[in-house]
């Protein structure tokens, strides 16, 4: 496919992620057909219209088209075959339950041509399980967005073991065209890339609080005022490369012993739900004390204390 020549994309599911994908695709000039057979679809569709208008008023609307032009590209369906008619790309956004996703992809395959790309938004289910009931798995992949997709551009493209290279290339081109930042995983792995890195950070943050090394508030500051500020601009590999005179190899020759020593002290996966976890979970932090309080003060009362679990 030449993604510039294709016109119709179908989004399966009108929840938060489905609406976000729809907004992204119409911003790129595509006709988007949203399918959802659950009650309340019309209300969600009206919410989407409201969002686009508000984004335009705030000068935050993506793409070159006006809100009215983008809205004209949207349509909603409760009939699956009608929603899929004419689409070259399908983005699934149903509940994060394996059986539900397997069922919808099995149903979809009956209504689409052999070249239509079938993509899932799953955040952690590997493609070999999601697409196990699909006959032609060469056109299947995961396109995992980061919430909220309209503002966070990363999309992880994860292949099924049988996914054709052309399908990965076409999806990469599509995501780039609508302004996202796609990354290609060479093979499937539990948690993909982002959630594996995130899980490592969550585990060590939790462990440091649970072991009495640091407070909940301060471990968040370690990220928001330290690592997060750095990694918002350059990744870990580039950081290491730039932090030694002769690049990455030089960095490792200098610091790998320290890194290995620290890693060896990490210990087992923390207990996130048992008795030991209460020291982390039962921490009340005032909204005004949170690093993000400036962003949320217009939505929450300053007097409201929240249960704050990393």
Nearest-angstrom CA–CA distance, 31 and 33: 7
CATH 1.10.1040.10 domain position(s) in the chain: 194-307
Phi, psi of 179 (to 5 degrees): 90, 10
What pLDDT does residue 302 have? 45
**Which class does domain 194-307 fall in?**
mainly alpha
Ordered alpha helix ranges (H), the chain:
16-27, 41-57, 67-71, 80-84, 98-108, 127-130, 165-177, 194-210, 216-222, 228-231, 236-242, 248-264, 278-281, 293-296
Q: Rounded mean pLDDT of 206-218?
A: 93
What pLDDT does residue 158 have? 99
CATH 3.40.50.720 domain position(s) in the chain: 8-184
Task: Output the CA–CA distances (angstroms, integers) from residue 185 to 117, 139, 149, in the order listed.
Answer: 17, 16, 19
Phi, psi of 182 (to 5 degrees): -75, 145
CATH number corresponding to 8-184 = 3.40.50.720
pLDDT at 305 over 70: no
- Residue 309 — very low, low, confident or very high, per pLDDT cuts 50/70/90? very low
CB 175 within 8 A of CB 157: yes
């Amino acid at each position: 496919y030449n993604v510039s020549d294709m016109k119709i994309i179908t989004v399966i599911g009108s929840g938060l992620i489905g609406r976000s994908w729809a907004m992204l695709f119409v911003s790129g000039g595509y006709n988007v057909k949203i399918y959802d057979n659950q009650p309340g679809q019309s209300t969600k569709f009206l919410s989407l219209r409201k969002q686009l208008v508000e984004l335009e008023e705030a000068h935050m609307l993506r793409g070159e088209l006006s809100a009215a032009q983008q809205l004209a590209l949207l349509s909603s369906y409760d009939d699956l075959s009608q929603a899929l008619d004419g689409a070259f790309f399908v983005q699934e956004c149903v509940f994060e339950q394996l059986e539900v996703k397997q069922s919808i992809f099995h149903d979809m395959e009956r209504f689409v041509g052999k070249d239509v790309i079938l993509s899932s938004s799953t955040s952690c289910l590997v493609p070999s399980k999601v697409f196990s009931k699909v006959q032609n798995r060469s056109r299947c992949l995961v396109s995992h967005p980061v919430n909220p997709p309209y503002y966070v551009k990363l999309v992880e493209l994860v292949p099924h073991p049988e996914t054709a290279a052309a399908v990965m290339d076409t999806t990469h081109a599509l995501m780039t065209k609508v302004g996202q930042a796609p990354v290609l995983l060479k093979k499937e792995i539990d948690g993909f890339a982002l959630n594996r890195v995130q899980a490592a950070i969550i585990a060590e943050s939790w462990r440091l609080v649970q072991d009495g090394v640091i407070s909940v508030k301060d471990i968040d500051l370690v990220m928001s005022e330290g690592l997060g500020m750095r990694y918002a601009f350059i990744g870990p590999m580039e950081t290491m490369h730039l932090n030694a005179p002769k690049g990455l190899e030089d960095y490792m020759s200098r610091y790998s012993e320290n890194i290995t020593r620290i890693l060896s002290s990490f210990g087992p996966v923390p207990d996130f739900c048992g008795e030991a976890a209460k020291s982390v979970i039962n921490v009340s932090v005032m909204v005004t004390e949170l690093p993000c309080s400036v962003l949320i003060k217009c939505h929450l009362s300053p007097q409201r204390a929240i249960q704050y679990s990393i």
